[in-house]
Amino acid sequence: MSLLQLGDDAILDTTDGVGIIMDTREGVYFQLNPVATLMVQAAMSCETVEEAVRELEHRIDASAEVLRTGLGKLVDQLAEHRLLARADMPR
């Protein structure tokens, strides 16, 4: 099971390496820069934070600590808007 999944009302589009998460409930969208897009994709395809960070280290020129911190902040922001949820948490 992946670490994170999209919220019930969210759709992710990653055209041209730029991510857009659409909130179908509110009718708004959030544009992600290329690094944030990679972070969301890693979190949705990996089972743990450490696995996601290892995957990101191969694609982004940053330390594991910087990636871990950035991933945590991004997830917090998107979860606040109910766009992402931990896969093991009830929704």
Which pLDDT does position 1 carry in this prediction? 74
Domain range summary for the chain, segments of one domain joined by +: 4-82
Pick the more confident residue, 90 or 28: 28
Distances (CA, A) of 54 to 30, 50, 85: 26, 6, 21
Q: 4-82 in CATH: which number?
A: 1.10.10
Distances (CA, A) of 66 to 20, 56, 88, 90: 23, 11, 25, 29
pLDDT at 90 over 60: no
Summarize pLDDT for 30-59 with one digit per residue, the tens. 999 999 999 999 999 999 999 999 999 999
Give CA–CA dist 17/21, Å, rounded.
13
Show the tokens assigned to 62: 């940053």
